[in-house]
Each structure stands twice: as C-alpha cells, then as structure tokens.
Amino acid sequence: MKIAGKLRKHPIAAAVALAVALGPAGAAAQEEEGQPDIIPEPQVQNPDEAIEEVVVLGRFISSSQQLVNERMNDAFATDLLGSDTISRLGDSTVAAALRRVPGLTLVQDKFVYIRGLGERYSSATLNGAQIPSPDLTRNVIPLDVFPTSVVESLKVQKSYDPSVSANFGGGAVDIRTKGIPDAFTARVEFGLGYNSEVPSSVSTYSGGGDDRYGSDDGTRALSQGLVQALNDFQGNFALNNIENQVANNFPDLGTTERLFQTETINRELAAQLNRNIAIETEDPDPDIKLRASIGNKFALGNDWEAGFAIGASYENDWRWRETRNAVVGNPEEQNGVRQETTRNVNITGSANFGLTFLEDHEIETTSLFLRDTDDETEIFDFFNENRFASSGRGFRTYRLEWEEREMVTNQIRGTHYLGVDTKERLPFLNFLGFIPEETRFNWYYSDSEATTDIPNRVVITADTFFDANGVQTSENVSLSSNAGDYRFTELEDDVRDHGFSVMLPVEFANSYVEISGGGAHNQKARTYRQTQFSIGFREVSDISLLRGPLDEVFSDENIFATIPNPDPSNPVPGSLVYENDLFFNRTGANTNSYLAATMTDSAFGQVDWTIADTWRIVAGARWEDYRQVSIPWNPYGFTLGSPQVDADFEGREEELESLYFQDDQVYPSVGLTYMGSLWADTFQLRIGYSETAVRPDLREITDSSYIDPITDALTFGNPGVRPADVENIDVRAEWFFANSDTFSVTFFSKDITNPIEFFEIPASDTTFAREILNADSAEVQGVEVEFLKELGFLGGWGDMFFVQGNATYQWSRDLVIGPNGGSVSCEERDPDGNVVASDCNLSGSSESVVNFMIGFDSPDSRHTASLIYNVFSERLFAFGRFERPDAFEQPFTSLDLTYFWYPTDRMTFQLKAQNLLDESVSIEAAGVTIFEEKPGINISAAFQWGF
C-alpha cells in the first residue's frame, strides 16, 4: 500500500502508521503455514524517511486501524467505519452501521440523526458526489437503501471544511464504495436468516410474476385504459362529466339510455383497477442472501496498470410486526392494533474499472445499481372518538402497498500527482517546472437517477362489530363512496454533479504548506406525480355483499349487477338500472404532485500550514450560489383537451416567483491542531470553528399540503421558511498508542439561528397535521468519548480480547420556539404571551448514546467473535401543542452477537444474532404508551468462499 499525499510528507503520520503495523495485533499473528492473513514482519524504517509500504496484520484490530491514518490526517473532526468493522458488527445496511458511530442515532430504521439534530441536518454523498433521494417527500437520502456489501468505508465528517457542501448541520456522511483490488479476488456468499416475530403463516395478497425480483410486472400498475380515459375525460370521471361527453357523441340517445350508458362507462373504468386484492395467507420463506464478486488488477507494461471489480447481491426477507397505539386522554377506549407483513427484496449490482499510470495518475469509474422493494400487507383494527371500544363497533383498514425504489449511478473520477516519475517519463511537462512536486489535481463527474414507483397503494375501510365480551362477530366493507382508496405514485430524481480541486504543496525548512482550491456544479431535477381514485358502494341491495373477501366485494358481479328499472315513469319499457350504487372518480388534492429543481455553483479555497510537525493551521472559505424552486403541479390541468404543463402555470407568475429561493453566501472555516506525544506515542488536539447553513427541503417552500408517507401526517409547506444558520465549534483530543489502543474526547457546540422544525396544527379528530416553521434558535452542546483497548495487560488470555466503545452526552439540546411556534407544552407563558420558562428540546435528540463492543480474536486467527451493545436515552418524538403532551421515544437497548470461523484461508462461516434482549420500540406521552412495536430477534448464518 503506497502512502500518498500528506502521508508522504508528514513524518508523524508515517510513524503512527508504522506503530499500528507493529502493534500487538500484528505481533500476535503467527507465521504458521496455511493460516490466513499471515504476512512476514515488515522492516522498521526511520520515520523521517518516506515510507513506501506498510503491512497491517490481524483480522479486526489492524484492519480497523487502516483508517487511523486518514482520521489523523484530517484537519477536522472525522469518524470512520471500514468494511471489516462493519462486517464484524453484523449490520446489513449503511443506516444500521452508522448507529455505531459516536453521537449518531438511527430513526425509523432509515434516517441518521447526528448529535441530536434531525435528518434534515445531515447529508450523504457517494464517493464524494451528490446523489439523488428516492424518498417521496424529503431531499435527504434514506440510508437503508444502501447495503453494506457495496461499502469500503463510511466517513462521518462532524466538523465542516470548505471542500464539502455548506449545507451542513450535524454532519456529512460519505459512502465510499469498494474499489479495484490489488490482486485477483473472487468471492461467493450464501446466507439464511430468521426473525422471531415472523409467524408460520402471514397475510399477503396475489401479486405479479416478477415479485421475487422486486419488480412489478404490470399487475398492479395503472391500466392503459385508465391512462387513456384520464386524457379523454380530462381527469374527471364524475357522472355529469361523462354524461356530457355521451350526449355530445350520441345526441340521439334518450335520457334513460344516456344515463345508463354514462353509468356503464364509469363502472367499466372502475373495473380496470386491480381488484384481485383478497387477503391470503402464505408460509414465509427464511431470509435469503446471495452475494458474488470478482476483481483483478493487471500490469500493462512497466508504467500502466488496469483493474476491475464486479459484484452483485440478492436479498429476500420477510418481516411481520404488530404495533399498538392509543390516545393519551382515553387509552382504554381509543386504541388500535396494526399487523403488517413486509416482503423486502434488495438487489445490488456494481462495476468498477480503473487505470493507473506511474502510480501518480489514476482514473476510476463506478457504476452502481440499487433496487430496494417493499411489498406490504396491513390489517389495522382501531377505535377512535367516533367509535369507542365499548360501543360494540370499530374500524378496520386493509392496506396493500408495493414500493419499488431504484437508484442508478455512474461516476468517473481521477487523481493526478505531478511527481518525479511523471516528469521523467513525460519530459514535455518540464515547462511546468515552476509547479511544486506532489501537486495534486482531483476531478469527478457523477450522473445519478433515483426513482420510486408505487404502482398501486390500496386502502379498504371496513366496519367491525363486537359482542358484549369484546369478541368480533362480523365485519363488512364500509358503505361509503371512499371505502376504497387507490393511489399510483411516481417519483424521478435526477442529479448531475461535477467538480475539481487542486492542491499545491510548498515546503520550507521547518514547515509545510498545502494551498488548495476548487469548484463544483450540482443540479437536481425532481418530478413527483400522484394519481388517486376513490371507489365504494353508497348503497347495496343486500349488506351481505360487503361481507365477503375483498375481491368478491368489488367483483364484476357486484359492480355490473342490474335489475329492471323500477321507476313507474320510465319511458323505456324493459330498461335496466344498476342494482348497487357505485361511486368511482379521481380524487385527492391537485397539489399532491409537484416539480422541483435545485442548482448550486460553488468554489472554495483553503490554506493548510504545518509548522515543525507540531502545529497545524487550516483556514478557508466556500462560496455557494444555491437556487431552488418547488412548484405544486396539477398533471390534470387541461387545455384544449390535452394535458399541458404550461397551461397549469398560466397566470401564476407572481405565485411562481414566491416559490423561487436563492441563497448566495460565503461560509468560513478555521482549524488549529497541536501534534505531540502527551501521554501517548502520538497526541493530537484539534480545535475547529465554521459557519454553515441548513436549507429547506424541496416541498417545504410551497404552500401546498401533502401526506407524508413516513409519518402519515398531513403536512403543510411554508413559502416563508428560510435556511437555518449554524455556528459549529469542535474541540477534539486524540491519543494514539503504539499498541494500537486509541482514546479520544470531543467537545462540540452548535448554535442554530432559525432552526427548521415541524409543529402540530389544528385538524380533525382523526387527522394529525403539521406545518414547517422557523423556530427562534437552538443550541446543542455535548461531549463524545471513544476508545479502543486491547486486554493483553490482563495476561496471556487477555491477548485474545479487546474492548471498543463510544459514548455521547449532550447537556444542552435547547430549542427556543419563538413567536412562530405558538403555544407548546414545553413552554410557560405569561398572560401577555411572553415566554417565562422553557424546557424544549430538539425533536429526535437524546441526552446520551452508548456503544460498547467486546471482541475476541483467537491466537491462530481462525475464530473471531463480538458482543455489541447499543442504547440511547429517551428522545423527543413530537412536540405537544394545543394542550397535548410531548411524546417521547423510550430507550431501546440493543445487544448483538457475531461469530466468524475461518476453517481455511478461503472459507468463512458467520453466525449473527441481533436484538438478543428482544426489546420493544415504544413511545409514551404523559405516562401513556401511545405506540409499541417488537422488532423481534434476528438470527442468520452465512457461508463465504473466496480468494
């Protein structure tokens, strides 16, 4: 492994790298024939000399230390997770792995909160480039779509530096994919898994022929007939609109025939919905995991090398969950039980190609395909303020939903050094002699597309009936025009990002300076389209028609059943009328669909000055010109009988101007590092200060309303919301010991002006609604502690064990609501409305988070095991407003176990158990449990073969 860049010139960094290589983890390895990862001991060099190669020994300790050099060389506070560490932790998604990082918590299994700040305050990139989000309403990327099988390392930057986007609040996560191997490698893996909550038989429904591949074959999709009818009838299937067209097309029809023909057309359109929605039972298969990869690097003469790496994975698992909720004021009478079956299919494909010249120039491409599909079947029984549990009547909803998320990314990037070899081999570059050696030029281009397709989300509402003992006696689909809700949703998010940076090194007698700068251009375009239909019987000839399976309730027999016209004044003898009164039309708010775009131009400059290998001063700034527009769009706004986007915007110039937002600012950053040997072989003290911003999401600057698919909340945007300004201060002390032990302490503070938060607003009794607002200010202060310690000091057996952990404590998570937020339960106001006392915290923030791991490595390197513990303290789930109490998510204690057996250097067996304590997720308000769910215990086994 050739040490490049700063490590070539920094003797302290080189010395630590050497210490890592020669630590106890390496000394513990034995040079026995056939044992894996046994490498001859490296030769010790003078740390003042350039180190050409560093060999790292051991399975976990040493592999995790490979990232220490990068962490140490970063001028600002950074945490890293390598692929070996992630594998040992047993986490299958990037989101799950990141909860092991100090100060990070996982919310809803997909969003990462950094230092107590919500998902909007974190950002994610792929190999340093911006990527799109498949989330329907958020700009932030749900990190559960990334399997850890494609990850080489995860970098969490908690202190801002000008080389990254200024849209930086809690921190930034860079997902770095696996690259070209140094030699031929090939691996195959097969695994099976089980979840303790999944019963032997689960609820599901009839799907399509390609479900096992996570792709709908058209079974659920909007039919071409309905697509054409939406155009023909201009998106309006109301009977009077259809009747007008029938009258125009068939002027000779009498009233009776015209009305019957009108109803027939309406019902024929309704019949084109996928009504094969009967709830069925199925025996779920065990979780299945398949992975394969191959790669190699070739020498092309003396100067060139080329390589490739190709990988693919397939995962299919079933999950079943039962959640319980209740209303705080009346939990016995207003409550519900939700049972949901989810089949998840995750398919990943990656291809990397690389070309290297003289080890000074490298060009690499990355192509990544991700598909993450959830097929959900839900039955929800509940009682509300309209029907108490004691009333003998309740509600039931059936929900069938297929959500297919895909992302395709193509990237190319290059790194070029103006080294001695380059100048010797390319003499025509001698005219560049005024440029210092080791000048580095980086560039990249990334083109990504994310799509989310929900070809059919069906919700059917039913009435339930109970006897005096609370036993259900019967149920029937509700007699209502909106008993059935069909939604078809399409999202397309395209992102293009390209940029460059240049670093010029300048050496003096006792100091070293890197002058760097660069620029980037990023543009995103998003289209969100939702089509919604309501179907239901307003009257039926016999209520028993509504009591059968769902496919029979909405069968052709019930939809098209006719009887002789009973009207005595009927002028057409023998004419027919429909027996059951059916309603079918397109419904929903026209503002559910929207168009959005962002564009950012940026440039940065930075000076990095190291003095006597003891002091390091970094100062720089980034200029960003950010533009954003988000427009509510009615795809069924028609002119002259055809849909035209321009027509929907005609006459709305003033409104559209208010939906445009621009932010043009300069964001400074400065850091100071002391490097010495206080209490350890290497000690570093970093102090950083920066100013950044957190911008509203794409839909939040509109005044439209929409249903958040994550929270089911009716959400209102706000054209007046503005970016939050953030001042960041970090102080980190780190100790690196020669025996591979590490210890660090970080103090952090964030002052936020105009923080962006959701606040509850009045709505109907059965609807939870919220709006986006700027609060007055927020303050986050805390400390993070992280350590890695081998236990060899305990004696011979201690050489096989180590402990690693981190803890975060935040003594300040204060939020000042201000006048925009109105009355909230965490504030006390005087009669004039002035705040006299406040105990408000940022939503999603926890006072403390703890991660701890005990690791075992056998002396022969054949066995490794880890016991991993994670817990977070109570955290705010939702603000209480309008005399409602705050809701808090209760602490969740996670205990996981992983074990690896390496019988040969080509074979690996893995066992993994997660949530061994069988903990539940619960949310409480005023001492009442308003939500509870058991995720269950996950147990899996896998076999891997490779070389």
Task: Tell me the percentage of the chain whose pLDDT exceeds 90.
Answer: 48
Lowest mean pLDDT among 640-644, 775-779, 824-828, 863-867: 640-644
Alpha carbons 430 and 226: distance in angstroms, whole number: 69
- Distance between terminal CA atoms of the chain? 19
CA 887 to chain centre: 23
- Digit-coded pLDDT (tens) for 245-296: 999 888 888 888 889 999 999 999 999 999 999 999 999 999 999 999 999 9
Rounded to an integer, the average pLDDT of 590-604 is 85
Give me the pLDDT at residue 472, please: 92
* Contact of 15 with 682, CB cutoff 8 Å: yes
Residue 257, token pair as written in the block:
């025939």
Rounded to an integer, the average pLDDT of 367-386 is 93
Q: Where are the beta strands (DSSP E) in 433-510?
A: 439-466, 472-477, 484-507
266 to 261, 364, 457, 559, 622: CA distances (angstroms): 9, 56, 21, 10, 59
Residue 38, token pair as written in the block:
């046994």
Higher pLDDT, 529 or 841: 529
Alpha carbons 85 and 83: distance in angstroms, whole number: 5
* Contact of 669 with 620, CB cutoff 8 Å: yes
Residue 581, token pair as written in the block:
């009164």
Q: Which amino acid is at 355?
A: L
Alpha carbons 654 and 747: distance in angstroms, whole number: 47
Q: Is the pLDDT assigned to residue 60 strictly greater than 50?
A: no
* Contact of 667 with 629, CB cutoff 8 Å: no
Q: Which amino acid is at 697?
A: D
- Digit-coded pLDDT (tens) for 725-739: 999 999 999 998 887
**Which stretch of DSSP H or E encloses residue 866?**
strand 863-872
DSSP state, residue 16: H
User: Three-state SS for 83?
Assistant: helix
* Contact of 434 with 497, CB cutoff 8 Å: no
Alpha carbons 720 and 571: distance in angstroms, whole number: 61
Q: Is the pLDDT assigned to residue 386 strictly greater than 80?
A: yes
pLDDT band at 170; cut points 50, 70, 90:
confident
- Digit-coded pLDDT (tens) for 574-592: 678 899 999 999 987 555 7
Alpha carbons 75 and 60: distance in angstroms, whole number: 26
User: Three-state SS for 875?
Assistant: strand
657 to 60, 455, 522, 628, 719: CA distances (angstroms): 56, 33, 22, 11, 11
* Contact of 731 with 750, CB cutoff 8 Å: no
User: Three-state SS for 745?
Assistant: strand
Average pLDDT of the chain? 83
Backbone angles phi, psi at 74, to 5 degrees: -70, 135
Give me the pLDDT at residue 615, please: 94
